[in-house]
Amino acid sequence: METQQNYDESAFDVLEGLEPVRKVPGMYTRTKNPLHITQEVLDKAVDEAQNGFANRVELTVHKDGSVSVADNGRGIPVGLHPKQGIPVVVLAFTRLHAGAKFRKGNSYGRSGGLHGVGVSVTNALSMQLTVEVKREGKVHQVSFTDGDRVISPVEATGHCGPRTSGTRVRFWPNPKYFDSAVLPEGELEHLLRSKAMLLPGLQVRYVNEVSGVERTWCYQDGLQAYLKEKLDGQEVVGETFSGTGTVVVTEEDASGTGDGASWAVAWTQEAGRGESYVNLIPTPLGGTHEAGFRNGLFEAIKAYCEHHALLPRGIALQAEDVWSRANYVLSANITHTQFQGQTKDKLTSREVVRTVSGVVKDPFLQWLLDNPDSAKKIAELVIKQASARMRQGKVVEKRKSSGVATLPGKLTDCQITDIARNEMFLVEGDSAGGGCKTARDRTYQAILPLRGKVLNTWEIEKGALFANQEVHDISVAIGVDPHLPDADESVLQNLRYGKVIILADADVDGAHIQTL
């Protein structure tokens, strides 16, 4: 008979310092590659620029696999913290939830978030990290290894001019925490370019010692020029609508004074594509700022159509009619931010819906009134979308970002793309999906958990299939649209997996998945 382990007070462990990050890195960052921990350091530098303390940021990918990010901001304080008794720069890189952004009246008017885990996560998942600070006429340096361990304490290593300041962080990502230790250069360049676009006047320089690439971005025209560049010659319905709006609130209000958004939006005949940011941080999964933007556009054009009696009898507009053909870049500036998880992919601050909707609706309605030609064209497009929806059901089009279909956020992808070897498991329920993720071989096995009741597709029109979110996610993940059995093989040209395996209960819901 097996001996049972003791379950008493001694059985409980407490993970201290950065050990939780190293134990479960996926809770704090994306582990596909080191891009996200690189972004955390970049965001700290850009925070200085966003709040008016820096105008230059430089990122370098070194030949030894390390990455450095430098700015000419104020420089992280190197003195002792009044309560903790250790240098502030050490606190920032070795303690979760340590930073200058929590306290009311803090040093940052705007910042990407209040989780306070950013650069400390980068340190935790790096073999080595070095910080060089120029501040108050001196150059200080501190080095860490494996996160918590200080291998070189804070020390003055030289002098600088009294007006020279800034921070330079260099880190060596630890390959054991990532599927690949190589930074995706295309995604990194897009990230850097977007920072320059979102903050006119900021000079962002990129140097890659491995590939030999050197680039510098400094946008003066902002979002509208960037959107035009993204549309790449597509015919726009009407003119581009761009603007900036802020709110002034009372002390008791949940929002912050000056909260608001900047945007550029244009409509095309093709499916819309968009990018959104919060305090310069990309939010690929959208969130409440996108919801507010969408609502503001919808309410304005609905009011315009009703005021001018443009809606045919029986046609009622919905937000999707306005949104599905909208191409946009949205940059929200929010004082009090809350994100879904530590990776900051989605904004969840509830009050932001009202804030962004409020600053967009009235300017857009006024713009429609001032630009009747564009307003008429956009209204006709929106009404056409509404008519099509009411005839054949709402069709949810695969949203695209940067020209590539965005995969479902709940998909745990595999490493290889060879369909002769890879396979995807459709798992009924998140709990079962968690077990499969643990047991899978990440090299060639992907997991897609399904939530809720899956649509029975046996006798349903193709046009209504994508109205079900699970059907939509399965189609995007596999890379194939629903089609008839005798369809041409060309429908499989974007197939992403060679096998699709169903793990479901032997009940009605499981049969619905099998039918699909």
CB-CB neighbours of 142 under 10 Å: 22
C-alpha 454/C-alpha 459 separation (Å) is 14
Contacts of 485 (CB under 8 A, 6+ apart): none
CB-CB neighbours of 131 under 10 Å: 25
User: Any catalytic annotation for residue 428?
Assistant: yes
C-alpha 140/C-alpha 510 separation (Å) is 62
Helices (H), 402-507: 430-439, 469-478
Q: Which residue in the list 58, 275, 428, 473 is annotated as catalytic?
A: 428
Which of 151, 175, 171 lies closest to 44, judged by CA? Answer: 171
User: Any catalytic annotation for residue 507?
Assistant: yes
Pair of tokens at residue 390: 């009411």
Answer for the pair 373, 382: CB distance below 8 angstroms, yes or no: no
User: Any catalytic annotation for residue 509?
Assistant: yes
User: Any catalytic annotation for residue 505?
Assistant: yes
DSSP type of residue 175: G
CB-CB neighbours of 222 under 10 Å: 19
Pair of tokens at residue 69: 């990010």
CA of residue 146 relative to chain centroid, distance: 27
For 106, the 3-state DSSP assignment is coil
With b for 16 or more beta-carbon neighbours within 10 A and e for fewer, the 21-47 pattern comes to: bbeebeebbbbebbbbbbbbbbbbbbb
Answer for the pair 42, 57: CB distance below 8 angstroms, yes or no: yes
Give the H/E segment covering residue 122: helix 118-124
Q: Which residues are catalytic?
A: 428, 505, 507, 509
